Amino acid sequence: MNTTTVDETALQAFVLKAVDDLGAGYLGVMVSLGARLGLYRALAEDGPLTTAGLAARTDCAERYVRDWAASQAAAGYLEYDPEQQTFALTPEQALVLANEESPVYLPPAWNVPAAMWSDEAKALHAFRTGEGIAWGDHDPRLAHGTAAFYRNGYRAALTSQWLPALDGVVDALERGIAVADVGAGHGHTTVMMAEEFPRSRFHGFDSHGPSVSEARRNARAAGVEDRAVFEQVRADEYDALGFGLICFFDALHDMGDPLGALRHAADALTPDGSLLLVEPNAADRLEDNLTMIAQTYYAASSMICTAHSLADGGELVLGAQAGPARLEEVLHTAGFSRVRVVAETPFNLIIEAKR
């Protein structure tokens, strides 16, 4: 290596950045522990607390809690009062770390990188051979972490913002139509819609058996199993019942044949039906995607989305950062003549398509 042109200032700055990112990996383990042990919840309900008080309320050993709390204060995840030697959550921190119904509740998301580390050997093999890694071959924490992470964000926007942005869909749902949720996973989106629109009937389709079983449990727990049913089936093989709405929630880019899945959806829609496509937000050019969020999406794409698409046949590997132009092209090729972006968040593009 030629080091004669190394800028020492730039080197130290990059080392600090890399160490900061390394610290985030350590922090993620602490966040997961804090959520699973109820430490954040106790602080939100009873804080400020000393570490002895926090340990007593959560039935944990104080010596472990002491270092955990110190790590959280050092990271800016807890507030520390040196005079009282107490720790506390601000209201904003509580929304992110303690309130499991908050749309910005993040601890379950740490299951995803944990699963990625667990699957490193599979990723090494995939990178070297070009083979895929099927969704069901990943560490189980991947499915659970992904479902739990996305659930609250969907709950905050799906029925209140995204569906109303579609042309005439809410009125149709209130009258009663058949709805397909393709790639439904644990069924959270299917259940949310079934709760909001009792006159419609909802069909969740997914090729991953354990996720379908979890979706059925979620429907029963919500009391909507009479109108939210789930089936283990591929995205291009479910019965074309004549759906008034077909949804893909962060699922299309994972499929081995997204074009085939969209063509099947076009055939399965009623003549005036709508397709709702929710995909990770991205610009069309790489140079416009060099952001913190895109960094996370590209990493997830390399080990999860692209890997499953290749395992699923790899006819067209979109990846998690396809961008609106590529998505519109695929939709038009599949037979949709009217395509428009109806909403956007920092994390998602919400697209409506009609035949």
User: Does 321 fall in a domain?
Assistant: yes
User: Same domain for 33 and 119?
Assistant: no
With beta carbons less than 8 A apart as the criterion, state whether 39 and 70 touch.
no
Instruction: Report if residue 106 sits inside a domain.
Output: no
Are both 313 and 237 inside the same structural domain? yes
Are residues 253 and 121 located together in one domain of the fold? Answer: yes
Q: What is the full per-residue pLDDT of the chain (355 aa) written as tens digits?
A: 556 789 999 999 999 999 999 999 999 999 999 999 999 999 999 999 999 999 999 999 999 999 999 999 999 999 999 999 999 999 999 999 999 999 999 999 999 999 999 999 999 999 999 999 999 999 999 998 998 888 888 999 999 999 999 999 999 999 999 999 999 999 999 999 999 999 999 999 999 999 999 999 999 999 999 999 999 999 999 998 899 999 999 999 999 999 999 999 999 999 999 999 999 999 999 999 999 999 999 999 999 999 999 999 999 999 999 999 999 999 999 999 999 999 999 999 999 999 9
Q: Do 175 and 228 belong together in one domain?
A: yes
Are 283 and 216 in a shared domain?
yes
The total of structural domains in the chain comes to: 2
2 part of a folded domain: no
Does 200 reside within a domain? yes
Pairing of strands 243-249, 178-182: parallel
Token pair 């290749």: residue: 310
Alpha-carbon distance of 313 to 308, in angstroms, equals 9
- Check: pTM over 0.85? Answer yes or no: yes
CA distances from 115 to 83, 210, 244, 276 (A): 40, 16, 37, 29
**Residues 47 and 177 placed together within one structural domain of the fold:** no
117 and 88 in a single domain? The answer is no
| Domain ranges, residue 292 | 111-354
Residues 237 and 274 in one domain: yes
